């Protein structure tokens, strides 16, 4: 939607750029945002920008380059687009929601491990109690032999328990990181946002030129979003299947190198 009289966002950024004495090409070189997107922001032509979370990211980067506080401008953009959160409600980024789900899954897995450890300890205690009862109740030779046999079995079981690795050791071995490599080869100009398993930006909302190979990066997993499908993705040296589309797209890659496409609401924005 183009605002003929422009407004708070366009006027603020245009005036700040004029004061700095820089043109759109210089800002493009510093931020990676294409000049036509910068011009659309100054004119508040929101239909000339990609999806909303990309537009917010562009506004934020543009404002920060000009030493302008980006938060009021992003809030004004949300107001104009009708996406402002309710009272006291802060917008939640797609990656924050993904991180929250990962934390909850980790908490549940640790709880299950604690239950398994408790059950194992209870089994050992029960076996010892049975042996003590048999020894205490065995009067005759046959009873004594059975008790001795039970005691020997208990000792063998105790030895076997000692030989087993501690839960922390098993957990450490199981949690040994397994990494996958990711390389990006644009076939045309494309906006890119790539995060590693910890949410660290590897490509921080930059516009990549055709043939500008990026990577390889190595991490346990990746989350990525692109302004369009003009990009070839290589995982562990092998070409991955990605959609060839003029629309924005995104995907995740797990530690086994398996790629899964992400719906719009779950794609990172590098804000």
Q: What would the mean pLDDT of 49-67 be, rounded to a whole number?
A: 92
Residue 100 pLDDT greater than 50, yes or no: no
Q: So what's the pLDDT on residue 18?
A: 95
Query: Model-level pTM greater than 0.85?
Result: no
Residue with tokens 């995982």: 235
The answer to whether the CB of 248 falls within 8 A of the CB of 228 is yes
Q: What would the mean pLDDT of 79-87 be, rounded to a whole number?
A: 67
**Percentage of residues of the chain with pLDDT beyond 70:** 69
Q: Give the residue, 189 or 73, on which the prediction is more confident.
A: 73
Of 18-32, 124-138, 198-212, the range with the highest mean pLDDT is 18-32
Q: So what's the pLDDT on residue 212?
A: 81
Q: Pull the structure tokens for residue 249.
A: 């797209």
Which DSSP string corresponds to 150-213? HHHHHHHHHHHHHHSPPHHHHHHHHT----EEEEEEESS-EEEEEEETTS-EEEEEEEEPTT--
Beta strands in the chain (DSSP E): 180-186, 190-196, 201-208, 214-219, 222-226, 231-235, 238-240, 249-253, 259-261
Residue 98 pLDDT greater than 90, yes or no: no
Q: Residue 137: pLDDT band by 50, 70, 90 thresholds?
A: low
Q: So what's the pLDDT on residue 206?
A: 84
């Amino acid at each position: 939607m183009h605002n003929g009289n422009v407004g708070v966002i366009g006027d603020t950024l245009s005036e700040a750029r004029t004061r700095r004495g820089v043109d759109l090409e210089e800002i493009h070189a510093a931020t990676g945002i294409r000049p036509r997107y910068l011009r659309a922001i100054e004119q508040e032509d929101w239909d000339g920008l990609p999806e909303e979370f990309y537009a917010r990211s562009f506004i934020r980067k543009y404002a920060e380059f000009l030493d302008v506080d980006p938060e009021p401008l992003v809030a004004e953009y949300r107001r104009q687009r009708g996406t402002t959160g309710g009272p006291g409600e802060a917008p939640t980024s797609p990656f924050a929601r993904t991180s929250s789900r990962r934390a909850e899954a980790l908490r549940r897995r640790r709880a299950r491990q604690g239950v398994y450890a408790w059950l194992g300890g209870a089994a050992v205690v029960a076996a010892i109690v049975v042996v003590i009862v048999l020894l205490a109740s065995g009067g005759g030779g046959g009873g004594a032999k059975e008790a001795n046999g039970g005691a020997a079995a208990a000792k063998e079981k105790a030895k076997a328990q000692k030989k087993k690795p501690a839960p922390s050791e098993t957990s450490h071995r199981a949690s040994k990181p397994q990494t996958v490599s990711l390389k990006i080869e644009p076939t045309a100009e494309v906006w890119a946002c790539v995060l590693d398993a910890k949410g660290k930006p590897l490509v921080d909302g930059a516009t990549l030129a055709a043939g500008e190979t990026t990577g390889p990066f190595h991490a346990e997993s990746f989350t990525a979003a692109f302004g369009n499908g003009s990009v070839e993705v290589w995982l562990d040296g092998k070409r991955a299947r990605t959609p060839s589309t003029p629309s924005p797209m995104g995907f995740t890659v797990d530690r086994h190198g398996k790629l899964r496409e992400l719906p719009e609401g779950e794609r990172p924005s590098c804000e």
